[in-house]
Amino acid sequence: MSRLLRAFTAVFLLAASVPVFGIDSQPPFPDAAEQARYEVLIHVFRCLVCQNETIADSDADLAADLRRQVHVMVAAGKSDAEIRSYLVDRYGNFVLYKPPVETSTWLLWGGPFLLLFAGLVVVVTVVKRRARMDETPPGDET
Amino acid sequence: MWPYLKFGLPVLVLAALIVLFARGLFLNPTVVSSPLIGKPQPGFSLPRLEGDGQEPFTQTEWQGQVALVNFWGSWCVACRDEHPVLMQFAAEHAVPLYGLDYKDERAVAEDMLSKQGNPYSDIAFDASGDVAINWGVYGAPETFLLDRHGVIRYKYIGPLTPELIRNDLLPRIRSLEGER
């Protein structure tokens, strides 16, 4: 095996190995469906201390406490909507990792489409102008 | 029209972006406004940090009064920074200031208060931090201002400063005390 190939293999193996995070210390649910629900829910809520992480990914104390709350509520048979509103009532919509569409977030959700539209306008104008240039006979060009 | 627009538009867009980003630079993203403002305080029943441990501490403690509730912990560095400010506040003003010590160790908290003084009228001890979550607390210290009816009227996240107390908190307290 050539040196280069060995180096590439090493890089590939390093890139493919996912670091193992042992963050969540909540005991697993006996019921697989509840466990799945819990796993989904902890990826829905934002940790307010390290704001760019969900409570599933965050190692902060608050995230651990919020995971515990979610765990308790799932075990108590609360619905997803009830758990969601429990946290939103206390921490506001900011606790939702995916912000809901409302008046204060329309620019966030609509912005990409606005930019796309602006781009389209530019493309159409440029194409039209070029088409007009092509129409003029070669002899007319000065 | 077109030549003006051709040069003016990019300048306008650039100016708008500069304003937008400059504003973004001066916002504090770590302060999240609480949806609990204007809502009745969440109820609780906790043991006291000090005392004989007989009678539980509940929100009825400050019933009928304009009161401050300060969530803190001896583990929290910013709370230790805030502590002298609270001591001074308690010495100068008759506004009831209650402490909610959360996720703490009793011995460490008691030791801190015995060495640095106790600014609180009384302290509830929330070992699990459940009450803190119920109040939407995410970063100690947090200070809640309650009106006579136990409605949360204001919340400050982070350590209080003498300037903030003078310019912001005291006027709010006076106006609430003026309410019936």
- Which among A62, A69, A88 has CB closest to B138? A62
Least confident among B18-27, B52-61, B64-73: B52-61
Are A65 and B34 inside 8 Å of each other by CB? no
* Rounded (10°) CA dihedral A41, A44, A49, A50: 120
Domain boundaries of chain B, sorted by first residue: 31-178
Say what the pLDDT of residue B154 is: 94
Residue B134 CB neighbour total at 10 angstroms: 18
Nearest of A74, A75, A73, A63 to residue A24 by alpha carbon: A63
What is the pTM (predicted TM-score) of this model? 0.78
Nearest of A54, A76, A52, A71 to residue A63 by alpha carbon: A54
B129 contacts chain A (CB < 8 A): yes
Say what the pLDDT of residue A13 is: 79
| CB–CB contacts below 8 A, A to B | 37
Check if the beta carbon of residue B124 is closer than 8 Å to that of residue B67. no
DSSP annotation of B147: -
- Mind giving me the DSSP string for A6-70? HHHHHHHHHHHPPPPP----SPPPSSHHHHHHHHHHHTTBBPSSSTTSBTTT--SHHHHHHHHHH
Check if the beta carbon of residue B110 is closer than 8 Å to that of residue B50. yes
- Chain B (89-128) residues lying within 8 Å, Cβ to Cβ, of chain A: 103
> What letter represents residue B30's amino acid?
T
Are B33 and A48 inside 8 Å of each other by CB? no
pLDDT tens for each residue of B41-58? 999 988 888 876 678 888
Say what the pLDDT of residue B67 is: 93
Nearest residue in chain B measured CA to CA from A51: B30
pLDDT tens for each residue of B125-155? 998 889 999 999 988 899 999 999 999 999 9
Say what the pLDDT of residue A19 is: 52
Which residues are A96's β-sheet partners?
Answer: A45
> A135 versus B175: which is more confidently predicted?
B175
- Which among A48, A66, A69 has CB closest to B32? A48
Which listed CATH number (3.40.50.970, 3.40.47.10, 3.20.20.80, 3.40.30.10) goes with B31-178? 3.40.30.10
Nearest residue in chain B measured CA to CA from A89: B35
pLDDT tens for each residue of B80-106? 999 999 999 999 988 999 999 999 998
* Tens digit of pLDDT at every position of chain A (142 positions): 688 888 888 888 777 765 555 577 788 888 888 899 999 999 999 988 888 889 888 888 889 999 999 999 999 989 999 999 999 999 988 899 888 888 888 888 999 999 999 999 999 999 999 888 877 666 655 5
The residue behind tokens 């001896």 is B74
Distance from CA of A51 to the nearest CA of B (A): 8
